[in-house]
Amino acid sequence: MTPPAAATSNQPAAVLAQAARRRTFAVISHPDAGKSTLTEALALHAHAITAAGATHGKAGRKATVSDWMEMEQARGISISSTALQFEYEDTVFNLVDTPGHADFSEDTYRVLSAVDFAVMLLDGGKGLEPQTLKLFDVCRRSGIPVITLVNKWDRPGLDALELMDQIQTEIDLHPTPLTWPVGIAGDFRGVIDRRDDTCIEYLRTAGGATIAPQAIHTPDEASELFGEVWSAAREEVDLLDASDSTYDPETFLAGTSTPVLFAAAALNFGIGQLLETMLTVAPAPAPRPGADGQLRPVDADFSAFVFKIQAGMNTAHRDHVAFARICSGVFRRGDVLTHAQSGRPFATKYAQSLFGRERETAEIAFPGDVIGLVNASQLAIGDTLFADSPVQFPPIPSFAPEHFAVIRARDTGRYKQFRRGIEQLDREGVVQVLRSNLRGDQAPVLAAVGPMQFEVVVDRLKREFSTEVSLDHLDYQLALQVDRAGADTVNSSAGAEVLERTDGTLLAVFTDRWRMQRIARAHPDLTLESLAAGVV
């Protein structure tokens, strides 16, 4: 996407104007809440695609643009994050799609480090679910404002006021609905727009593959059209008015309230209202703190950080893409930047903008944009790039793994391919790779937050490196950081072992918490520390 020529200047005013046009966000949800369908619907309403992929439910639908991996298309779930950029009413939206499955919550956490706000997607029939609660907690502690979208209102579900109570009581977030459903769950006629008291009627299209037409009615017209259904909706809005559930920009940006909208993404109902809400109330890119705590102004010299690395997006080439969120300044393809971690120059000849799996050359980009840096083998997750004035952004912590397995190549003749594949998946953060002198390099230990990460490793090694592997699951359930002085103590204890992560961190792994506590009591000088405390 090429901005107007006047906007390509390095002048601070031009940078600020371009940043003000950006909205960079993620969608967080429990699996099966409709996240990929919502992603498609947003792109459809922005005319970035001509027809939504979700047309007949998971059993027969086309693959969504954000779910491009074979495992995602086969299972109908998102297991990898992708970036999609589209424009709507002169506003550039950068949607960083997140994995929907809880086993990939570490990838989701990285994505949330790169956005300015989140859309919390709730299934209208299930309400707040465990994964949604965990991800919201990350947003709260990261200071990320949240817009709530109640999805699947075209299906039988919970009472709308009951959902508002859940949000208030379970996550201590004050709901301030901007739209309110006309019709109970399963009988979705439209919404009341609380901002102007009009009624928006939704009309179905074939399979929900195209933008749903809508008609705007005055309250009197809606009363005549919908009768008692309208009256019931109006009574509930009166209750919201009486409970001071009215949108407040200050509490929203402070993370203590959430605007709420109702939708049916599979039918493309309510998606236009979500886009308008993000356009009018969601925050644009703001100054970001560096590792030293100093804020990097949006109009300062260029800076960005890598929050994801992904390989296999282009089947014709064995490349990998580093996803970088621009924090300040102007990016121009061909600029030579500085890699903060090594101090070395970094050329940007191969920079691309992303739309799911599709790419095009990125000539210029601004704060809030996500660019793909191709074959940037020297970059790692959390690394910083800058031009001129130095900055280094805080590292992105790794999660404490809970599942462990030894991995080996079935055919020892393919050990080189096996090792190259393991190194690639480790660099991407698909799993953590742990090693020890005792086990040797041919039998590394994979450490994961959830067991499905192991399935991704096995699948990708087979498809991308033509390597069949075997997994031997270990009984360890707990990992803590240990210093080298304590490593021998742990290794000499039953039910425990010390393994080294690629970044040099020593992990003491234990079969359970009771075993760890017993070893710690027997060796009071042993120092054990939690990993990535406070994350999901």
Residue among 502, 495, 447, 506 at smallest CA distance from 471: 447
Residue with tokens 């004050």: 174
Left, alpha or beta for 489 (phi > 0: left; psi -120 to 50: alpha)? alpha
Alpha carbon 377 to chain centroid distance? 23
Give Cβ neighbours of residue 380 (< 8 Å, ≥ 6 apart).
306, 309, 341, 427
Residue with tokens 């950081």: 481
Residue among 424, 156, 165 at smallest CA distance from 312: 424
pLDDT at 57 over 80: no
Longest dimension (CA), the chain: 79
Where exactly does CATH 3.30.70.3280 map onto the chain? 403-529
- Higher-pLDDT residue of 30 and 358 is 30
Q: Is 101 annotated as a binding residue?
A: yes
Residues 506, 498: contact at Cβ < 8 Å? Answer: yes
When pLDDT is cut at 50, 70 and 90, the band that residue 467 belongs to is very high
Share of the chain above pLDDT 70, in %: 86
Where exactly does CATH 3.40.50.300 map onto the chain? 23-33+97-281
pTM flag (> 0.85)? no
Q: What is the pLDDT of residue 428?
A: 85
pLDDT at 416 over 70: yes
pLDDT at 204 over 70: yes
Residue among 218, 214, 191, 195 at smallest CA distance from 203: 214
Residue with tokens 């074959």: 375
Instruction: Supply 376's token pair.
Output: 């940037």
pLDDT at 271 over 50: yes
In a 10 Å sphere around its CB, with 0-12 CB exposed, 13-18 middle and 19+ buried, how is residue 353 labelled?
buried
- Higher-pLDDT residue of 28 and 444 is 444
Q: What is the pLDDT of residue 31?
A: 81
Residues 501, 509: contact at Cβ < 8 Å? Answer: no
Helix-helix angle 130-142:160-171, to 10 degrees: 50
Question: How far is Cα 425 from Cα 17, in angstroms, rounded to an integer?
Answer: 38
Q: Is 99 annotated as a binding residue?
A: yes
pLDDT digits (tens, 9 = 90+) for 280-292: 999 999 999 999 9
pLDDT digits (tens, 9 = 90+) for 5-39: 444 556 889 999 999 999 999 998 888 888 888 98
Give the homologous superfamily in CATH for domain 403-529.
Peptide chain release factor 3, domain III (3.30.70.3280)
Q: Is 473 annotated as a binding residue?
A: no
pLDDT at 60 over 60: no
Q: What is the pLDDT of residue 72?
A: 43
Instruction: Supply 494's token pair.
Output: 């039953």
Question: How far is Cα 290 from Cα 370, in angstroms, rounded to an integer?
Answer: 18
Torsion of CA 75, 77, 80, 81, to 10 degrees: 150
Report the pLDDT averaged over residues 59-87. 51
pLDDT digits (tens, 9 = 90+) for 126-139: 999 887 888 888 88
Q: Is 289 annotated as a binding residue?
A: no
Question: How far is Cα 513 from Cα 445, in angstroms, rounded to an integer?
Answer: 20
When pLDDT is cut at 50, 70 and 90, the band that residue 205 belongs to is confident
Report the pLDDT averaged over residues 140-163. 95
Residue with tokens 């356009």: 279
Q: What is the pLDDT of residue 5?
A: 41
Question: How far is Cα 308 from Cα 306, in angstroms, rounded to an integer?
Answer: 6
Report the pLDDT averaged over residues 176-201. 96
When pLDDT is cut at 50, 70 and 90, the band that residue 473 belongs to is very high
Question: How far is Cα 152 from Cα 136, in angstroms, rounded to an integer?
Answer: 20
CATH of domain 288-386: 2.40.30.10
When pLDDT is cut at 50, 70 and 90, the band that residue 55 belongs to is very low
Residue among 170, 173, 164, 166 at smallest CA distance from 144: 173
Report the pLDDT averaged over residues 502-525. 95
CATH classification (class only), 23-33+97-281: alpha beta
Q: What is the DSSP string of 199-258?
A: EEEE---GGG-SPPPEEEE-HHHHHHHHTHHHHHHHHHHHHHHHTT----HHHHHHTSEE
Q: What is the pLDDT of residue 356?
A: 52
When pLDDT is cut at 50, 70 and 90, the band that residue 354 belongs to is low
Question: How far is Cα 318 from Cα 326, in angstroms, rounded to an integer?
Answer: 25
Q: What is the pLDDT of residue 534?
A: 40
